[in-house]
Structure 1
Amino acid sequence: MPSDARGELHDGRYEYRAQKEWRVVISWYGRPVSTLTGQEAQKFLARIPGLGDHDAQLLMARLTGNFKRGNERRSGRGR
Structure 2
Amino acid sequence: VTTLAGKDAVRFLARVDGAGAEQAQLAMAKATGNFKRGNERQPGRR
TM-score (norm 2): 0.64
Q: Give me the CA root mean square deviation.
A: 2.0
Structure 2 counterpart of 1:38: 6
Of Structure 1 and Structure 2, the greater strand share is in 1
Alignment gaps of 5+ in structure 2: 39-46
Corresponding position of 2:19: 51
Structure label with greater radius of gyration? 1
Q: Relative contact order, CA 8 A, sep 6+: which one is greater? A: 2
Within-5 A mapping of 1:1-79: 33-66=1-34, 69=37
Query: What TM-score comes out, normalization by structure 1 length?
Result: 0.41
SS in 2 for 1:34: coil
Shift of 1:42: 0.9
Aligned length: 38
